[in-house]
Structure 1
């Protein structure tokens, strides 16, 4: 696709800024207009998870209204886990209530927290936006530690993809200013674990729970695994804490083998 007009000379803002992750987007035009909304709010980093019609798509550039450089730099990922593996915090837009215990923010509160996390602490964050028809499913949401819900007219809360991105981008732009972070998380000599490191531990934990028989109830297994994921995703687990948890799992596995339970 040579000769494509990439539009304005857009580039990332200094320091960390939120990554916009479009999960299974269906229309090229929606990807393009989402990039346009990102440019309006000073966001640059775009990741696509399993776009329905593949990537790249010329119609996305046509719809981006000069935000082509964002699309040029976009990356494609097979899964949500892969798209957020290098992130320390993951926010997910969630328009409808779900029976999960988790943190929920308005768009404004989420933007303020993103400024604190990205600019104040230098951590990488992502915001998940779901497919146009269905939104994010429960397995997608299980990768997030914080949910974002827009306070809109309860009788009509329907937004297209670009509108949803635009609201978050607008709040980010208005919140992104130099200031002393109102909250701090002291990690001393360790650091906040990436989602990839946490995913590695959760996969190992699930395998060990399968081996010991804790997840033998196949009907309840998916929900039990999701509940465990939500529990660990709820806070910022540090790299040192993950090492300790890996050690716990190792000792539990060793004890099972000594008792004659197969691994």
Structure 2
């Protein structure tokens, strides 16, 4: 076990897909595969006849802390041995093969894998050697083919990238992260009351300096300003900054002998 610098990776309860690397060629690729698996919440790795044997320190060096996945990896002499305890087997293959079986995208496969997990069925994902991918005999052990809809003019992926695509889809299939959000750090999105308070402050200053002197156009100009600030999610911190800007412009006008309007209360007055 190589615990120093290793991530505290613990597989969740229940079945999660098993990544099976068939005849992987380089230990470094096994290590980067473990790193990709950890990113996507996959924890079980099986190796079928790795070319350079197992274990190899170079794999741990390339895993960036995903040591526990490598520590728990098992070695098998054949695909049949690696998948003997599995209920469903999905195989990834970038090139057309002379097989007849269902074909899924990575996204559809992830949805299917989640459904199988709910039924407590054990699944395996076969990935072939780096140079040529899975052979026909390997594919014959699978019930579903997974193909990635990539650029048809260039769809070459290294082993870890291929695993990462499916690991990512597996993770997001159950992830609740909103597709769009505003990062506000230590502040919050401003309320409509705060926005109206600022608008009162701003309009008072614009009236005092003469910017809104055209009475016919004044309502439309004020509406345009209001739309500008309400269209996005202005934060409380940004409003405090804008209050300061308007107040400073007011002080600058006073230094030139223009009158000071009666400004509304700002949040800092409370």
Instruction: Please classify the TM superposition score into its range, dividing by the shorter chain length.
Output: 0.5 to 0.7
Which residue is equivalent to 2:44? 45
Residues 34-64 of structure 1 deviation map (CA, whole Å, 9 limit, x = unaligned):
0000000000000000000000000000000
Asked whether the 8 Å contact 2:47–2:74 carries over to 1, the reply is yes
Separation in structure 2 between the aligned mates of residue 70 and residue 5 of structure 1, nearest angstrom = 14
Q: Which 4+ stretches in 1 moved above 4 angstroms? A: none
State the match for 2:141 in structure 1.
143
1:73/1:29 CA distance change after superposition, 3 Å: same
Note if 1:105 corresponds to 2:104: yes
2: distance between equivalents of 1:107 and 1:23? 19
Please identify the structure whose Cα radius of gyration is greater. 2
The answer to whether the 8 Å contact 2:30/2:59 transfers is yes
What are the equivalent positions in structure 2 for 1:1-263 lying under 5 Å apart? 5=4, 7-118=6-117, 120-176=118-174
Tell me the TM-score normalised to structure 1 length. Answer: 0.65
CA distance in 1, matches of 2:174, 2:138: 27
| CA displacement at 1:5 relative to structure 2 | 3.5
Residue deviations 1:159-197 (CA, integer Å, cap 9, x gap):
00000000000000011369xxxxxxxxxxxxxxxxxxx
Give unpaired runs (5+ residues) of structure 1: 179-263
- Report the secondary structure of 2:162's partner residue: helix
Closer, same or farther: CA 14–98 of 1 in aligned 2, 3 Å: same
Structure 2 residue ranges without an equivalent (≥5): 177-270
Contact 1:18 1:43 in 2 (8 A): yes
| Distance in 1 of aligned mates of 2:136 and 2:65 | 34
- CA root-mean-square deviation: 1.4
C-alpha separation in 2, matches of 1:19 and 1:91:
10
User: Using the alignment, how far apart are the partners of 2:134 and 2:2 within structure 1?
Assistant: 35
What is the Cα deviation at residue 14 of structure 1? 1.9
Describe the superposition over 1:120-179 as per-residue Cα deviations: whole angstroms up to 9, x where unpaired.
10000000000000100000000000000000000000000000000000000011369x
Contact 1:5 1:68 in 2 (8 A): no
